[in-house]
């Protein structure tokens, strides 16, 4: 029986956030712990009355403290690039590439000396924990995809499939060819120089099911591109014996790209959402 696209789309949900979605506190604590010695040394500058000289002396005795400086301005990595008086400067905080005077200048111009000497904060470890929490929010987009994959995998397991026996994660097309003898020489896959990797692959007695998984809580051009590419992949995959392409997607972001999604819905028999998974669709289609 042909499904109704609008009814199907209306069952999309707005979030797949789990308990770790908003902030990954273990990651925050690990990142702070990795530089806690350096942060404690820099704590000696708090409320300093002669912070420039105190900083020079600290760096002379413990040059490794500099590696903790970038995170104080919410910058990951060991390099900070700035343009000063029309000149591009790239400060390295692991391997010093400027004089101590230049690093003093950096600390002054970025406002870090003011932060420390005027006792605006009382402890750099607590301060950096706050910075890390803020930066960690940028990783939510990646965690959304991971959360969706976890949901799908839980339904795969509930359907009776066993990891690395009859279902596999992140399997490349070359692995599908070598393990199952199915050569996916498809035009839609050749457009990218990188080898295609499917989120999940399930092997039944007669068929290999390659599954792509994603979730979109917001709109953007990415959705239209995804729908178009999967439409082409679905059409090409339908010509390969013993192989089926399955797309599991969800998220209210699709309301902004419903036209392209509907076009794919019309040609891809095996396109499903979380509601379909809850209705036991995997056990029904995989034989």
Q: Which pLDDT tens digit goes with each residue over 240-275?
A: 999 999 999 999 999 999 999 999 999 999 999 999
Cα(103)–Cα(108) distance, rounded to whole angstroms?
9
Structural domains of the chain in order of their starting residue, each with its CATH number:
5-19+139-285 (3.40.91), 25-137 (no CATH)
**Which pLDDT band, with edges at 50, 70 and 90, does 194 fall under?**
low
Rounded Cα gap, residues 287 and 232, in angstroms: 25
Q: What is the largest CA-CA distance in the chain?
A: 79
Q: What is the pLDDT of residues 112-141, one digit of tens each?
A: 999 999 989 999 999 999 999 999 988 887
pLDDT at 187: 63
- 3-state SS of the chain: helix, strand, coil percent to 5? 55, 15, 30
Q: Is the pLDDT of residue 171 over 80?
A: yes
pTM over 0.85: no
**Residue 169: is its pLDDT beyond 80?**
yes
Beta sheet of 208-215, edge-to-edge order: 167-172, 197-203, 208-215, 243-250, 271-272
100 three-state secondary structure: helix
């Amino acid at each position: 029986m042909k499904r109704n696209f609008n009814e199907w789309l209306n069952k999309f949900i707005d979030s797949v956030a789990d308990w770790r979605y908003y902030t990954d506190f273990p990651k925050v604590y690990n990142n702070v712990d990795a530089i806690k010695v350096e942060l404690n040394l820099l704590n000696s500058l708090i409320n300093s009355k002669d912070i420039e000289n105190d900083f020079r002396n600290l760096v002379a005795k413990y040059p490794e403290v500099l590696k903790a400086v970038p995170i104080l301005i919410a910058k990951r990595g060991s390099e900070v690039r700035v343009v000063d008086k029309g000149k591009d400067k790239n400060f390295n905080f692991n391997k010093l590439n400027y004089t101590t005077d230049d690093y003093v200048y950096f600390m002054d111009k970025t406002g870090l000396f003011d932060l420390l000497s005027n006792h605006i904060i009382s402890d750099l470890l607590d301060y950096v924990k706050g910075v890390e929490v803020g930066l960690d929010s940028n990783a939510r987009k990646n965690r959304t995809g991971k959360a969706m994959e976890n949901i799908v995998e839980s339904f795969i397991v509930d359907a009776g499939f066993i990891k690395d026996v009859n279902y596999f994660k992140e399997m490349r097309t070359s692995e599908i060819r070598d393990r199952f003898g199915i050569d996916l020489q498809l035009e839609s896959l050749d457009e990218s120089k990188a080898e295609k990797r499917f989120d999940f692959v399930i092997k039944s007695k007669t068929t290999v099911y390659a599954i792509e998984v994603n979730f979109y809580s917001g709109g953007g051009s990415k959705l239209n591109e995804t729908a178009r590419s999967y439409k082409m992949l679905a059409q090409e995959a339908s010509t390969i014996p013993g192989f089926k392409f399955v797309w599991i997607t969800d998220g209210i972001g699709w309301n902004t790209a419903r036209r392209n999604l509907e076009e794919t819905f019309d040609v891809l028999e095996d396109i499903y959402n979380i509601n379909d998974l809850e209705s036991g669709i995997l056990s029904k289609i995989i034989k």
